[in-house]
Structure 1
Amino acid sequence: MQILDYIIRHTQLNKTSVKNTLELLNEDCTVPFISRYRKERTGNLDEVQIGAIVKFKEQFEALEKRKKAILKALEEQDVLSSELQNKIAAAQDLTTLEDIYLPYKKSRKTKAEKARQLGLEPLAKIIMSQNASDIESVAFRYVKGEIASEDQALEGARHIIAEWINERTDIRGNIRYQLERFALISTKVVKAKENEDAAQKFKDYFDWEESLSRIPSHRLLAILRAEKEGYVKLKISIDDDRALAKIEQRIIRSNNYCADQIEIAIKDAYKRLLLPSLSNEALQIAREKADDSAIAVFAKNLKQLLLGSPLGEKRVLAIDPGFRTGCKVVCLDAQGQLLYNETIYPHAPKNDSIGAMKKISSLADAYKTEAIAIGNGTASRETEALIRKIRFKNDIQVFVVSEAGASIYSASKIAREEFPNYDVTVRGAISIGRRLQDPLAELVKIDAKSIGVGQYQHDVDQSKLQKSLESVVENCVNAVGVNINTASKSLLSYVSGIGPKLAENVFNYRNENGAFTSRKDLKNVPRLGGKAFEQSAAFMRIKDAKNPLDDSSVHPERYQIVTKMAKDLGQSVNTLIGKPETLKNINLKDYCSDTVGLPTLEDIIKELEKPGLDIREQAKVFAFNQNIKTINDLREGQLLPGIVNNITNFGCFVDVGIKESGLIHVSNLSDSFVKDVNEHVHLHQQIVVQVLDIDLNRKRIQLKLHKKM
């Protein structure tokens, strides 16, 4: 089996596209670079399709690595026949491969192995032949040493037969099929823990039964967490009688005492070996599917969050609200640099609201503030109400900004390096302000798992989650591009072809030599060679550069094409940019070559029409209902403005301006069937919701989508 055939079988993509993509990947090209600048070679594959090729390439390589290890082990045991070698070579998944290898595994001392050592394998073979008429007499011959009776001899022989049954790939395949189609997952509460307060969040699963193949991912993960924390016991089951009958049909072909012994061995093999092993395998497969589903939800949410609407380069006053410890206030310039910081105490216990309002007003005036960002944590609503009372001299927009992960950033090494002379409270306020200016640039500094969007992110496979989220961050950063002269090391590290070490080199070079004036300057950065330049240059932007293409997504390797286009039109590159009517006169076919086709040329024209255009929407002001301050203020039937702050497979959570977020269940998102929540709402979307139910005891709010703003 070849890697090309393996990937095509799993992706159904064009053979030439897969072949060329594999070549690019083997040349150390990144997914963002391939999807954006090698469209002719890939057949215009997008980043999702290329990501799938990467995934199955890694799966194939892992499969081949395991095959080599097994072949080596079999050679060492001197049991590798040509037939066995062919079976291993033909295996197309790890499950099949491990089933082939199962009889040859060096396992701990089993009942069957002990029986073999006592010389009972010949008896087992006689029983399996099903020809002996007086098997007890045959068994008597083996009564010696540790074997004290015919029954003991027969029992040992059955252990060997049970192991043979367990190792048969056809039988294992049939049990797998039944588990896949008919398995039930059930739970029973652990009585000793039933009334614990912490157990109540799992109350719905104290006595639960459901089809394993149909259980939603969020429910399976919740049940697995309940089991892990010791509140329920979990069981996977199928129809035992049907499963045993299927095995008997494959083995028993007589009606004598041998058949009776085999029937006992079958039951033993099923209950002791097959069912425990394969039911655990079925649960693990379901778990992996649930993990994949939860990770996909997290990845979608993270992408929406990272591509959230930026305010842009505006001067911001940011406030991290608080009661007893006061509100931390910082003033930032348009590039997010700290200009001033102070603490005000408008709320209890000091209640200096008048002094706080005067201070905010004077700071806004002194630092020419264009927008105010207020963290959405403790005292957020009270602080927002206070700010909206102030009569500013200029028109200042007021935004409430998510604080998720801000405390993680403020105590991080990155924050300490950026602001070594300020404490965590000041750093947190700075992060809030910068999130308003550019969510992507600020959020890349935080471990994505700490941002808190998604479902059960701490329960899923952490390495798989980390890999998925890093891919999302990389794709988002490169889709937007970075200003090389203002980007942090964290942001630079996600640029295609760069990574943490080169990011540090770029950052240090900028500090030592001043701002980059040309993309060519990147070649002067230590250790940034030709390959890294090829992969990264087009994702780096230079504002007000001498060559206007340096502030576009046009790759430097294609500058000559743009120059030729301009020359053919009797213009300069400067006068050609931003002129859609002029650009329409270009016949792209005149510029096609062996390496440059219409997809690349169409991208170039699109970029020339609006160079450096941010793909993200502009940030919009939003105001909660000022009369709703706690869950006690809610009433059934109320219509309230809200912001979607998390999306899961079972619905979305909405911030309506109080501590508790409300849930819009999938059934309340639309009057028609909802297949994908993301098709109806997106993260940070402003909507109007209707309150359906308030559970004050459990602090739960049920909502319905009324309309989108």
Structure 2
Amino acid sequence: MNSSVFIAEQSTISIEKVKNTLSLLAQDCTLPFIARYRKEATGGLDEVEIGKIIELKEQFEALEKRKKAILKSLEEQEVLTPEFKAKIEDTQDLTTLEDLYLPYKKKRQTKAETARKNGLEPLAKIIMAQNATDVEGLAQRYTNDEVPDAESAFEGARHIIAEWLNERTDIRNNIRRQLTRHALIETKVVKKKATGEKAQKFRDYFDFSEPLSRCPSHRLLAILRAENEGFIRVKIIIDDDRALDMIARKIIKSNNDCAGQIELAIKDAYKRLLLPALSNETLTEAKQKADETAIAVFAKNLKQLLLGSPLGEKRILAIDPGFRTGCKVVCLDAQGQLLHNETIYLHPPKSDEKGTIKKISSLTDAYKIEAIAIGNGTASRETERLIKRVHFKNPIEVFVVSEAGASIYSASKIARDEFPNYDVTVRGAVSIGRRLQDPLAELVKIDAKSLGVGQYQHDVDQTALKKSLDQTVELCVNAVGVNVNTASAPLLSYVSGIGEKLAESVVRFRESEGPFITRHDIKNVPRLGAKAFEQSAGFLRIKNGTNPLDDSSVHPERYALVQKIAKDQKTSVQELIGNTKNLKDIDLNNYVTEEVGLPTLKDIIAELEKPGLDIREKAKIFTFNQNIRTIEDVQPGQLLPGIVNNVTAFGAFVDIGIKESGLIHISNLADGFVSDVNTHVSLQQQVIVKVLEVDIKRKRIQLKLEKV
């Protein structure tokens, strides 16, 4: 079996589309490039489908690598028959493959191996044949210095039989089915560790039992975290009697003394070998599925966060609020460059409100400020109220901006490289201001795990998490496009075909040679070859360049086609752009070739209608209820405005303007049954919520979604 067949069988994608996609991947084409510019080859597969092909390709390669290792081992052991080889080569999953290899796998010194060395394997075979009459007398023949009596001989033989039973694929699969369908996950509290404050977070799981198949992702991850921290013990349970009966019916075919020995061996195999290994395997698989769910939730939240509404190229005054240490204020130009910074003290203990109002007013005039960004951390609400008392000469919008991860950025190498002469407080304030201008451009500089939109992110497979989040960032960056003349190296590094090293080369070249005038100038960047240009050019934008197509998603490889269309319309490319009437009258069938089909032509026309259109909505001002300042002000029955600041599998957390976020449990998102939180709310969404319950002691607020 080749990879194309394997992927087609494991997915719903046709083998022809799979083959063409694999061919493009083999040519070092990236996922964003394939999805956007090779629709004819893939049959219009989207990012998710192409991502699935990549995932299954990696699974196939891992499977083939393991097969080769196993076949080599079997050849060295001289046990590989043509039939066995064919069986291994035809296997399509790792679990079955490992079961086939299990009898031949090199083992540590087991009880069965010791029994074999003591000469008891013939006795085990006789017992398994179940046709001996005098088993006791037979066992006496196998006594020796290491096996002093018949019972010792029987015990050794049973160890060998238990190992044989453990290695039988049919028995293992049957127990797997029972575990899949009927397993319970059961927890018991570790009493000596149950009294601490940290343990109380997990008190719901101190003595807990639930069908494993119905245990949701967040609950399983919470249980496993509690176990890892030593507060509980976890056990997977099934009906032992039913499992033992199943094995006995498969194995025992007589009613003599042999049957009695086999029955004892079955119990030993089940308790000592089969159940521990397969229950661990089942729990591992459940954990893997829980990881996948949690990672998917994180990736979806991250995508919504990265594609948050930008204010655009506006001159910003940003404030990182604080009480004792004051508020750090920075002024940024429209491109996010730092113009000025200082500290103001509008809160206790100094409380210089008059001086602050005067200072903010003068700074907005001096630097022609168009909007103010206030970080949403400590003293945010107090700062916002005071800023709204300032009388500005010109209308200035005031925004509260999430500062999650700003402290991580301010202490990072990226921040030090950008602002080597400023401390972390200035860098943090700059990050807050830039987030208002363009969330995507600023947030790519921060480890996604520090952005506060995950669910048990530290408990999931970190390699899988990083891979998913990196891909999410890459897709978002390429969906929006990047201004090559202003983008930072971290932002450029996510552009299709660029990467970290080339991104740094682009920035160095831009700094030494000046801005790029056309897309083709990008080819002059050292080590940026033809393949990197092909993969990246369509996602890099040149603003106000000589060629209007350079500020669009039309790929340079199709410029000649656009020029032909314009010529046929008896107009210029410049005049064709935005001319909706002319564009709609074009018969695209006249331009179909072997290389260019209708999908690409439709994309080109759509882009020419609105070239360089940002897919993100523009930032909107949001105002919290000004009477709600602490959790003590929150009362059941209140209707409050809020912003969704995290989405999980069990509900959504909402910022209502105080330190504590409230939770809309999934059951309170709608009057009917809700299967997916994301069908009702999304990250950064502005909502109205009803307060259901307030627990001041535990700092918990239960909410219900009223309206969007």
Task: Give the drift of 1:75.
Answer: 1.1
Task: Give the drift of 1:261.
Answer: 0.1
Q: Measure the CA separation in 2 of the matches of 1:132 and 1:675.
A: 60
**Structure 1 residue aligned with 2:240:** 240
Q: Measure the CA separation in 2 of the matches of 1:283 and 1:627.
A: 49
Instruction: Let me know the Cα RMSD of the aligned residues.
Output: 0.6
**Structure 2 residue aligned with 1:405:** 405
Matched ranges for 1:512-591 at <5 A? 512-591=512-591
Matched ranges for 1:163-562 at <5 A? 163-562=163-562
Equivalent residue letter for 1:557: E
**Structure 2 residue aligned with 1:651:** 651
Deviations 1:610-631 (A, max 9, x none): 1000000000000111111111
Q: Measure the CA separation in 2 of the matches of 1:585 and 1:168.
A: 69
**Structure 1 residue aligned with 2:665:** 665
Deviations 1:209-246 (A, max 9, x none): 10111110000000000000011110100000000000
Deviations 1:70-104 (A, max 9, x none): 11111111111112111111111000000000011
Q: Measure the CA separation in 2 of the matches of 1:701 and 1:475.
A: 35
Equivalent residue letter for 2:355: G
Q: Which stretch shows the higher mean deviation, 349-358 or 607-616?
A: 349-358
**Structure 1 residue aligned with 2:59:** 59
Matched ranges for 1:108-187 at <5 A? 108-187=108-187
The answer to whether residue 679 in structure 2 is matched with residue 679 in structure 1 is: yes
Q: Which stretch shows the higher mean deviation, 1-10 or 109-118?
A: 1-10
Task: Give the drift of 1:520.
Answer: 0.4
Q: Measure the CA separation in 2 of the matches of 1:277 and 1:675.
A: 33
Q: Measure the CA separation in 2 of the matches of 1:689 and 1:255.
A: 70
Q: Which stretch shows the higher mean deviation, 578-587 or 30-39?
A: 578-587
Q: Which stretch shows the higher mean deviation, 41-50 or 8-17?
A: 8-17
Task: Give the drift of 1:696.
Answer: 1.1
Task: Give the drift of 1:19.
Answer: 0.8
User: SS of the residue aligned with 1:688?
Assistant: strand
Q: Measure the CA separation in 2 of the matches of 1:11 and 1:99.
A: 24
Equivalent residue letter for 2:316: V
Q: Measure the CA separation in 1 of the matches of 2:452 and 2:544.
A: 38
User: SS of the residue aligned with 1:706?
Assistant: strand
User: SS of the residue aligned with 1:584?
Assistant: helix
**Structure 1 residue aligned with 2:600:** 600
Q: Measure the CA separation in 2 of the matches of 1:364 and 1:27.
A: 53
User: SS of the residue aligned with 2:373?
Assistant: strand
Equivalent residue letter for 2:188: K
TM score, norm. by length of structure 1: 0.99
Equivalent residue letter for 1:475: L
Q: Measure the CA separation in 1 of the matches of 2:328 and 2:402.
A: 16
TM score, norm. by length of structure 2: 1.00
Task: Give the drift of 1:584.
Answer: 1.1
Equivalent residue letter for 2:452: G
Deviations 1:350-377 (A, max 9, x none): 1111111110110011111110000000
Deviations 1:394-420 (A, max 9, x none): 100000000110000000000000000
Q: Percent identity?
A: 72
User: SS of the residue aligned with 1:705?
Assistant: strand
Equivalent residue letter for 1:414: I
User: SS of the residue aligned with 2:544?
Assistant: coil
Task: Give the drift of 1:193.
Answer: 1.3
**Structure 1 residue aligned with 2:620:** 620
Task: Give the drift of 1:450.
Answer: 1.0
Deviations 1:559-597 (A, max 9, x none): 011100111111010111011011112110001100100
Equivalent residue letter for 2:627: N
User: SS of the residue aligned with 1:385?
Assistant: helix
User: SS of the residue aligned with 1:596?
Assistant: coil
Q: Measure the CA separation in 1 of the matches of 2:491 and 2:408.
A: 17
Q: Measure the CA separation in 1 of the matches of 2:582 and 2:390.
A: 49
Deviations 1:413-438 (A, max 9, x none): 00000000000000000000000000
User: SS of the residue aligned with 1:389?
Assistant: coil
Q: Measure the CA separation in 1 of the matches of 2:303 and 2:512.
A: 34
Q: Which stretch shows the higher mean deviation, 282-291 or 356-365?
A: 356-365
Task: Give the drift of 1:43.
Answer: 0.2
Task: Give the drift of 1:14.
Answer: 1.6
Q: Measure the CA separation in 2 of the matches of 1:5 and 1:529.
A: 34
Q: Measure the CA separation in 2 of the matches of 1:418 and 1:274.
A: 58
Moved over 2 A (4+): none
The answer to whether residue 691 in structure 2 is matched with residue 702 in structure 1 is: no
**Structure 2 residue aligned with 1:104:** 104
Q: Measure the CA separation in 2 of the matches of 1:339 and 1:20.
A: 51
Q: Measure the CA separation in 1 of the matches of 2:312 and 2:581.
A: 28
Q: Measure the CA separation in 1 of the matches of 2:315 and 2:269.
A: 72
Equivalent residue letter for 2:360: I
**Structure 2 residue aligned with 1:642:** 642
Equivalent residue letter for 2:47: E
Q: Measure the CA separation in 2 of the matches of 1:409 and 1:73.
A: 49
User: SS of the residue aligned with 2:319?
Assistant: strand
Task: Give the drift of 1:145.
Answer: 1.2
**Structure 2 residue aligned with 1:25:** 25
User: SS of the residue aligned with 1:583?
Assistant: helix
Equivalent residue letter for 1:253: K
Q: Measure the CA separation in 2 of the matches of 1:365 and 1:190.
A: 63
Task: Give the drift of 1:10.
Answer: 1.6
Equivalent residue letter for 2:146: E
Equivalent residue letter for 1:616: R
**Structure 1 residue aligned with 2:631:** 631
**Structure 1 residue aligned with 2:15:** 15
Task: Give the drift of 1:672.
Answer: 1.6
Task: Give the drift of 1:550.
Answer: 0.2
**Structure 2 residue aligned with 1:71:** 71
Deviations 1:623-677 (A, max 9, x none): 1111111111110000000000000000000000011100000110011211111
Q: Measure the CA separation in 2 of the matches of 1:412 and 1:108.
A: 47
Equivalent residue letter for 1:463: T
Deviations 1:223-278 (A, max 9, x none): 00000001111010000000000000110000010000000000000000000000
Q: Measure the CA separation in 2 of the matches of 1:48 and 1:672.
A: 29
Task: Give the drift of 1:195.
Answer: 1.3
Q: Measure the CA separation in 2 of the matches of 1:383 and 1:9.
A: 59
User: SS of the residue aligned with 1:659?
Assistant: coil
User: SS of the residue aligned with 1:408?
Assistant: helix
User: SS of the residue aligned with 1:664?
Assistant: strand
